[in-house]
Structure formats: structure tokens, C-alpha cells
């Protein structure tokens, strides 16, 4: 009996009636997935068996005729991975049901038990990701960015180990790859080569080396067998999401298959990554010269790089989320937050070429090697170093314009414009409220408040719990929204998640919103004037819009500065004057906004007027 099967048997052994009568599917947040259809466990066995059979058959048909030994290895690995998936899922569901069975809602005992199950389940998922590798680790990395959607136990577990502490390939495997790619061993290519990797991520690990010219370099080495397992990963994901949708129709993530099929091969091509990195830096030089001194991309050694090996300039720096190390460099964390958000806002709205994997391990902070000459003498310039350029997305001008218009509408709490632009981006007239909530990670009531404070991202535990609550209650709506949205927008949502997670670590509450508001407004103004260059009225209107945004943002930053200076609670400090003309304070502390009931006949009632909708959450 495997370890997983043994754990499952242990969970079920002491409560025989549980599996037959009390087995209900539960999400990590503790909410029921399908209260009307609980006896699904036998169906899960059938689907798992059929899934394994289909996967093995499909893979066998595609590969058996060429290399039988390779085909057998892939078939074995495929069935093993799917088996791990099934056992892990069964263990997690069984653990939640067994551990929380009979415990009263909101009791201390249930809360403590749920916390312990969260930790056990997160560790099981971590172990599954490490054993299966590849795309599983990529998914685990993204879980570590979802501060607002997942319980903290899951986020912290994934964040601690998924970014740069993944399983490593052996030095023998590294040597085999060098021999296959360059025809030479590492010590023949480099003067020095450290056999112990500096860091290891989902697709590759990094070794420190030095060239025969004495230059220190970082060598990114693709993990062994990834090319083979990539195709298997795609088939596995297809089977898993199809099975999940069959068991739980509310969970339809089949759109993920096309995204994985498109992005994974690109991330495995290190020559494409080299091209992306050079394109990125060139965009900052030509399109964003005002930012170029604060952004750096390591240069690539093309003659020492292949599709599976990438040799880059070695950069001395600190992790972007290491606040203490950043402060030791004499840099304010808020400065780094501002640089990061300005850089990615420019990528989205100016360049149309966006780094879509900006998690904490893919960004570093350093002091620029050259001094900046100022009025008070020389000073070092802080730089944000961008790493891992495997996943980029190009945005066409129309999409950038619509996305910018949506953000401008969010800044001004313009309900009609939010709806209009959300529909243009694919959300539909029934899910535009949910789209605005997913994009900003804020309840609808806060989004449409007319005061300045609605732009501020508090990041409190109360906010997180609120968002987790409605996320668990709107599973089918979120799934439908993600199916509708263009893949470019899906990757922008992922980018937002990553940046929001870094911002949270840096302690910034307004930078992300302020900067994207400014850049989106500037984009719209530039597009308007470019369409009608001779119209003075058009130019004046564009400048007036920009002035309105700047005034609004200036007031917000001033209020933030005053609040920090005096150490006053934000809500207490700003509640009085800012609520004037917007709404009235109710007894429970929420704000009754006059325009809160903005839903029309096309809107989903769950998003508007029900007790579980976004607009009814406390403000």
C-alpha cells in the first residue's frame, strides 16, 4: 500500500458511516461544493480509472510507433502522476470532511481544526507539485500569489518553497545536458562552474560560473526530461480539469488547457527567452526613457546559450520582497513598489509587450553600479532587475485602449463606463460587476464609492476574509468569467496577482492603483490626440482629463502621507469629510451608497442584491 492510500485508509477506518453517508465535497475555505449531490466518491473512482486509460491510450498512440522505450517511460509516468493526483485529492477531501465533521460553525474548535487541515492539505499539495514537477510547480507558484483568494496556510506554504527552492537536477544530469547541447562538459565551457545550483525553480535551475575572460555569469539549466514531460503535462492537465468539471460542473477550467498548450513550449525555449529579454530592455530604452535608469535586464551570452541552456550576466542583488535587505541598501521599500508598478504599467499601456510571470523570485533589487550626479553630490540609483523572460504576451492597441478605459472608469467610480468597457473586454453584461471585483480585489460597494479612499488597497485581514468568502460563494460565476475573457486579459490578471503579492510584502497600499490610474489615463489621452492632431478642443479635453486624474491621485497620496505621519487609523481619519455627498453611515459600520443598486435586468442577481453578492459586503 502506498503512503497516500495508507493515509486515506487511516482517515476512514474509525468512522465507517462517514464515507457512505457524510462524505461531502469541501473547498479549502470550508464551504460546500455541491450540497445537492454528495455521493460522488464512486464516480470519482470511475473517472480516475477512465482518465488513466484515456491518457495512456492517447499517449501510446502518439508515441509508440517511434521510440518504444521512451513511450513506455511516458506511459508509466503518466499513470503515476494521475494516480498521485487522485490520491492527493481524495486525501484532502477526506481530511476536511473527517476533521470538521460535527464541529459547530464558528466554534473555536472548528477554527483550530480547519487551520490544521489547511496546513496538512497545503503540504500534501506541495508534495504533489514537487513529485510531479513541471507545470504542477508553476500552478503551485501561482497559488502562492493569491493572498486574497486562498487561506494563508496555502499561500505561505507555496510561497516559502515554490519560487526558488524546488527539487534540483543532479550534476550528472546537468553534464548530460551540456554534452547534448554544446558537445562539451561544463568545465570545458567555463573556467569555473559551481556544481551546486544557486536556486531551482519549476523549469530550470541556476548555476554560478565564470567565463575564460573572467566574467561572472549565471547559467540557467533546464531540468532533465522536461521536453518529454511537457507533452505529458498538457495531457494530464486536460484529463484533470475535464474530470473535475464532470464531478463538479461549477468548476469549469477547461480554458486552462489552451493556455498551457500555448505557453509551456514557449517557456521551455531559452532562445526565445533571450529574445524576449532583449526586446524588453530595448522597449524601456526607446519607449520609456524616463524609467530606463531604474530598470535593468541582465545581458545574454548568445554564444553560450541554446534552447535548453541560457547564460546571462550575474547580478548581485536582493530579493524584491526582502524588506530588511532592501532597507540595508538605503532604499525605501515604497520606492521599489513605485518603480515596479510604473515599469509594468508602461509594459501594458506603452509597450504592449508584458512580462506575465513577475513573482518575487523573478525580480531583484540592487544599487546601480554607476553613481548618479545630483545637486547634493553623487548618489546610488536603486534598480529593479527583471529575470525569467520566458512568458510574455503581446497586447494589440485596441485591447490596450479598452483596458485603459476600464481602469479610468474604476478610478472615477463611473458605473456606466465600467460596465461598457467590461463588456467590450468580454465579461458580458451579467458579469461586469464580478470582473471589476476580480480586477481590483475589492467589493463592489467600495469600487463605486465616490470618495477618494476607494482607490486605497488596505490589505487587512478583514478584507482578505471578505474576498475569500465571496470567492467561495461565486465559484460558477468566476469560472464562467474566466472562460469568456480573452487569454491576454487572463495573463494580465495573473500579472496583477503577482504584483499585488509583492506590493503586499513591500507594505504599499496605493502605488499599484495610483500608477495604473495615471498610465491608463495618459494612454487614453495620447490615443485621443493622435486620432485628431489638429483639434485644439480634443487636446484640451485630454489634458483636462489628465489634470482631473492627477488632482485625484495627489489628494489620495496627501491623505495617505498625513495618515502615516500621525499614525491615525485610515477609516477614522477620513470617514467624515470624504463620505459627504456619497452616502450615510449605517449602524453596522457599512456605507449606504446611493448608487450601489446599479444592476440592471442583465446582471446576475447573485452579484447585486443577494445576501452573498459583492455589493452587499460590508464597506
Per residue in 334-364, pLDDT (tens digit) is: 999 999 999 999 999 999 999 999 988 899 9
pLDDT tens track for 282-294: 999 999 999 999 9
Cα–Cα dist 617/443, whole Å: 7
Residue 445 CA to residue 594 CA, distance in Å, equals 10
4 has pLDDT over 60: no
With vertex at residue 26, the alpha carbon angle to CA 20 and CA 32, rounded to the nearest 5 degrees, is 95
What residue spans of 532-569 are helical by DSSP H? 536-566
The single residue listed with the C-alpha cell 545574454 is: 300
In 10 A of CB 533, how many CB atoms? 8
pLDDT at 457: 56
**H or E element, residue 30:** none
Residue 392 has pLDDT above 70, yes or no: yes
- Average pLDDT (588-593) is 32
Catalytic residue of the set 95, 252, 322, 357: 357
Tens-digit pLDDT profile for residues 171-204: 999 999 999 999 999 999 999 999 999 988 888 9
Active site residue 592: no
* Selected residue with higher pLDDT from 184 and 618: 184
CA distances from 41 to 25, 34, 48, 277 (A): 9, 13, 11, 48
> Is 41 a residue whose pLDDT tops 50?
no
pLDDT digits (tens, 9 = 90+) for 202-259: 889 999 999 999 999 999 999 987 877 777 777 777 887 887 778 777 777 777 777 7
**What's the pLDDT band for 78 if we cut at 50, 70, 90?**
confident
Rounded CA gap, 131 and 121, in Å? 15
The upper half-sphere exposure of residue 427, i.e. CA atoms within 13 Å in the direction of its Cβ, equals 28
Please report the pLDDT score of residue 337 as a whole number. Answer: 93
User: How confident is the model at residue 372, as a pLDDT?
Assistant: 60
Question: In the structure, what pLDDT confidence band is assigned to residue 19 with cuts at 50, 70 and 90?
Answer: very low
Alpha helices in 456-535 (DSSP H): 461-473, 475-484, 487-506, 511-531
Average pLDDT of span 513-519: 76
The chain-wide mean pLDDT, for the chain, equals 77
Give residue 131's pLDDT.
86
Q: DSSP code of 280? A: H
Which pTM does this prediction carry? Answer: 0.74
Alpha-helix residue ranges (DSSP H) falling in 295-365: 323-328, 333-346
Report the pLDDT averaged over residues 411-423: 92
> CA-CA distance, 309 to 263, in Å (whole number)?
18
Amino acid at each position: 500500500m502506498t503512503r497516500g492510500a495508507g493515509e486515506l485508509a487511516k482517515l476512514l477506518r474509525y468512522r465507517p458511516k462517514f464515507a457512505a453517508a457524510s462524505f461531502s465535497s469541501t473547498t479549502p475555505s470550508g464551504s460546500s461544493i455541491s450540497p445537492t449531490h454528495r455521493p460522488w466518491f464512486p464516480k470519482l473512482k470511475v473517472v480516475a480509472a477512465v482518465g488513466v486509460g484515456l491518457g495512456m491510450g492517447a499517449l501510446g498512440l502518439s508515441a509508440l510507433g517511434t521510440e518504444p522505450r521512451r513511450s513506455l517511460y511516458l506511459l508509466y509516468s503518466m499513470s503515476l502522476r494521475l494516480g498521485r493526483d487522485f490520491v492527493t485529492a481524495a486525501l484532502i477531501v477526506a481530511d476536511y470532511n473527517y476533521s470538521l465533521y460535527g464541529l459547530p460553525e464558528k466554534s473555536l474548535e472548528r477554527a483550530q481544526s480547519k487551520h490544521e487541515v489547511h496546513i496538512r492539505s497545503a503540504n500534501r499539495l506541495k508534495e504533489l507539485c514537487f513529485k510531479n514537477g513541471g507545470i504542477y510547480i508553476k500552478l503551485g507558484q501561482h497559488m502562492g500569489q493569491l493572498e486574497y483568494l486562498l487561506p494563508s496556510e496555502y499561500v505561505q506554504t507555496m510561497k516559502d518553497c515554490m519560487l526558488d527552492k524546488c527539487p534540483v537536477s543532479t550534476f550528472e544530469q546537468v553534464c548530460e545536458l551540456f554534452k547534448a547541447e554544446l558537445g562539451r562538459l561544463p568545465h570545458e565551457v567555463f573556467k569555473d562552474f559551481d556544481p551546486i545550483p544557486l536556486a531551482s525553480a519549476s523549469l530550470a535551475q541556476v548555476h554560478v560560473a565564470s567565463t575564460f575572460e573572467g566574467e561572472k555569469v549565471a547559467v540557467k539549466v533546464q531540468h532533465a526530461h522536461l521536453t518529454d514531460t511537457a507533452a505529458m503535462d498538457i495531457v494530464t492537465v486536460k484529463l484533470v480539469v475535464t474530470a473535475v468539471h464532470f464531478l463538479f460542473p461549477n468548476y469549469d477550467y477547461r480554458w486552462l488547457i489552451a493556455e498551457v498548450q500555448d505557453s509551456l513550449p514557449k517557456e521551455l525555449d531559452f532562445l526565445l527567452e533571450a529574445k524576449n529579454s532583449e526586446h524588453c530592455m530595448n522597449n524601456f530604452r526607446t519607449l520609456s526613457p524616463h524609467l530606463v535608469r531604474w530598470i535593468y535586464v541582465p545581458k545574454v551570452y548568445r554564444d553560450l546559450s541554446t534552447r535548453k541552456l541560457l547564460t546571462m550576466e550575474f547580478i548581485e542583488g536582493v530579493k524584491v520582497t526582502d524588506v530588511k535587505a532592501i532597507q540595508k541598501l538605503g532604499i525605501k521599500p515604497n520606492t521599489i513598489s513605485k518603480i515596479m508598478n510604473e515599469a509594468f504599467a508602461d509594459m501594458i499601456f506603452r509597450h504592449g509587450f508584458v512580462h506575465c510571470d513577475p513573482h518575487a523570485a523573478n525580480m531583484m533589487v540592487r544599487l546601480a553600479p554607476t553613481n548618479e550626479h545630483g545637486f547634493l553630490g553623487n548618489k546610488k540609483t536603486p534598480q529593479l532587475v527583471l529575470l525569467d523572460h520566458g512568458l510574455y504576451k503581446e497586447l494589440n492597441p485596441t485591447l490596450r485602449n479598452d483596458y485603459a478605459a476600464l481602469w479610468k472608469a474604476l478610478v472615477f467610480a463611473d458605473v456606466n463606463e465600467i460596465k461598457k468597457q467590461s463588456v467590450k473586454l468580454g465579461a458580458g453584461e451579467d458579469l461586469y460587476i464580478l470582473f471589476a471585483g476580480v480586477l481590483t480585489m475589492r467589493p463592489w460597494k467600495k469600487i463605486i464609492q465616490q470618495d477618494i479612499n476607494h482607490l486605497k488597497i488596505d490589505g487587512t485581514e478583514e478584507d482578505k476574509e471578505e474576498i475569500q468568502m465571496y470567492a467561495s460563494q461565486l465559484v460558477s460565476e468566476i469560472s464562467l468569467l474566466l472562460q469568456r475573457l480573452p487569454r491576454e486579459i487572463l495573463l494580465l490578471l495573473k500579472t496583477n496577482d503577482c504584483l499585488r503579492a509583492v506590493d503586499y510584502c513591500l507594505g504599499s497600499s496605493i502605488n499599484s492603483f495610483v500608477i495604473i490610474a495615471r498610465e491608463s489615463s495618459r494612454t487614453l489621452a495620447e490615443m485621443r490626440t493622435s486620432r485628431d492632431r489638429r483639434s485644439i478642443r480634443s487636446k484640451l479635453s485630454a489634458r483636462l482629463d489628465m489634470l482631473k486624474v492627477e488632482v485625484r491621485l495627489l489628494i489620495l497620496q496627501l491623505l495617505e502621507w498625513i495618515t502615516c505621519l500621525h499614525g491615525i487609523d485610515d477609516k477614522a481619519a477620513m470617514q467624515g469629510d470624504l463620505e459627504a455627498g456619497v452616502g450615510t453611515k449605517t449602524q453596522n459600520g457599512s456605507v449606504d451608497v446611493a448608487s450601489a443598486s446599479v444592476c440592471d435586468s442583465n446582471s446576475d442577481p447573485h452579484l447585486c442584491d443577494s445576501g452573498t453578492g459583492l455589493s452587499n459586503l460590508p464597506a
